[in-house]
Amino acid sequence: MSTLRRFEFLEHTADIIVKAYGATLDEAFAAAAEGMFAVITGEAEIVASRREVIEVESIDREGLLVAFLSELIVRHESESVVLGDVDVTLLDKTHLRAEIGIAPFDASRHGEGVQVKGVSYHMMEIVEPSDSEPASVQVLFDI
């Protein structure tokens, strides 16, 4: 993960909300992924041993964010890996390409976090950058 923290955790009674920022929506999507893995790993450092490119499609931008983060959860669970150092390119409103750093899950280093079960549309916000504000996305994770 990058040394500059591009996300914050917001209060919620039962789940976890991550608000992520970037100069562009590409950067905000990437920061949301990094925030999600901060939840999963208890903010442990992730040192990638390899990089992979994934592509995700959906019907709209909100669906794209959910599909992207859900794909990362599936990879985490099915391959026993953690993901960091994410670089996202939004190809259009329904398609993205991401290059992700992948490291094997190590319970002694990455096991202090909380299991993320899913990504919710509830409370989701996607804000385009403006002259006065960066781009941001807000995502509620079911834990």
Average pLDDT score, the chain? 92
Q: What is the pLDDT of residues 29-77, one digit of tens each?
A: 999 999 999 999 998 999 999 999 999 999 999 999 999 999 999 999 9
Q: How crowded is residue 83: how many other Cβ atoms within 10 Å of its Cβ?
A: 27
Is the pLDDT confidence value at 20 over 50? yes
Tell me if residue 123 falls in helix, strand or coil. strand
Note the pLDDT of residue 14.
78
Report the alpha-carbon angle 2-29-73, nearest 5. 85
Note the pLDDT of residue 3.
43
Q: What is the pLDDT of residues 89-120, one digit of tens each?
A: 999 999 999 999 999 999 999 988 999 999 99
Q: Which helix (H) or strand (E) holds 139?
A: strand 135-142
Which among 142, 124, 105 has a CA at the least distance from the CA of 28? 124
Note the pLDDT of residue 2.
40
Q: pTM of the full predicted structure?
A: 0.92
The Cα–Cα gap between 85 and 57 comes to 21
Q: Which domains does the chain have, with CATH numbers?
A: 7-142 (3.55.10.10)
How far CA 91 is from CA of 16, 26, 32, 47, 127, in Å, comes to: 28, 9, 18, 27, 17
